[in-house]
Amino acid sequence: MTVVINMRDGVDERGIKIAAGFILEGKLVAFPTETVYGLGADALNARAVKRIFEAKGRPPDNPLIVHIADFSDLGRLARDVPREARLLAERFWPGPLTMVLPRDENVPDVTTGGLDTVAVRMPAHPIALALIRASTPVAAPSANISGKPSPTLAEHVIDDFYGRIECIIDGGETKIGVESTVIDLSSERPTLLRPGGLPLEEIEKVIGGIEIHPAVRGKLVDVARSPGMKYKHYSPNAQVVVVEGKRENVRRKIAELVHEYRADGLTVGVMATEEYDADEFFHLGSTEEEVARNLFRALRELDKRGVDIIIAEGIEERGLGFAVMNRLRKAAGYRIVWA
């Protein structure tokens, strides 16, 4: 039996106490953050963290992000906090920024995927912060079955985990819709491991130029230093195709592909910023912020409608568009049509 706690109207102290009790008992709690819903356990309890991997079907070498509620908690997790980390924390925490730092021996191997580093962030969501403050640092990947689209609504979590975890906090729709940006600060030069809810341009204003890890562009890696680097991610059951190029060419190409796939007897869904004559259509919005917020919801919704193939409109790779295109390409298994 899964306890679902309604906090759509804001933090409920009684509900937080119940959920924190589950965390402290080594159980699993799904909760909202400003990015997506997380599936949380006590980050310092190896047995509890192992249950996250079991529930999600997540490979054990795919590290987790530890969520904290106060900068002082870093002392329990990282053995060295460089100047760049302090500058970024002052500017962007709480917020959608994860920093990879040298790991303290206090953190179990299972939490870090066996790495000598730990990924940490402070979420900008009152429910998440209240839960952490009432319990302990919380290890939490996205609250979805491994490889599937991340959840931006409690309903998505219920679809994947009802009856399989102890508690789900329903805090309504998440604000940003894509996961946090991950920056590796454990080596000589800061490196982007995953684009996300904090645009790279904003980070570079604070600490200067940042290298982009080849995995961000689709290069296969043997060791995942961050979630989202090594394994298949964000994929619905339907096949996804991304159409990229100049806007007018993309619109024409999507219309052509809808016609071609229908002629082959396939049911076609389109997710885009403008409407198309398809079997199913999901309007992503008109700004990069709206597209990011609706991205995973669109993939899940079109899947529920039973389409065979999803055609996704590519957007410009700037601001949140960088994260959107990273997720779309991974969801498509890099099946990209250039227009």
Q: How far apart are CA 284 and CA 294, in angstroms?
A: 6
Cite the annotated binding site for ATP by residue number: 58, 62, 117, 150, 194, 234
Measured at the alpha carbon of residue 130, what is the angle toward residues 109 and 116, in degrees to the nearest 5? 15
Q: Edge-to-edge strands of the sheet including 97-102?
A: 3-6, 167-170, 29-32, 37-42, 138-139, 65-67, 117-121, 97-102, 181-184, 191-194, 211-212
Residue type, 59: P
- Residues β-bridged to residue 117: 102
Scanning the structure block, which residue is given the tokens 């800061």?
A: 190
Cite the annotated binding site for L-threonine by residue number: 35, 67, 121, 140, 142, 180
Structure tokens at 158: 């219920």
Q: How far apart are CA 193 and CA 220, in angstroms?
A: 13
Q: Using an 8 Å Cβ cutoff, are 314 and 334 in contact?
A: no
Q: Using an 8 Å Cβ cutoff, are 299 and 236 in contact?
A: yes
Residues, the chain:
339
Structure tokens at 188: 């000589």
Scanning the structure block, which residue is given the tokens 């409407």?
A: 275
Burial class (CB in 10 A: 0-12, 13-18, 19+), 202: middle
Cite the annotated binding site by residue number: 35, 58, 62, 67, 117, 121, 140, 142, 150, 180, 194, 234
Residue type, 219: K
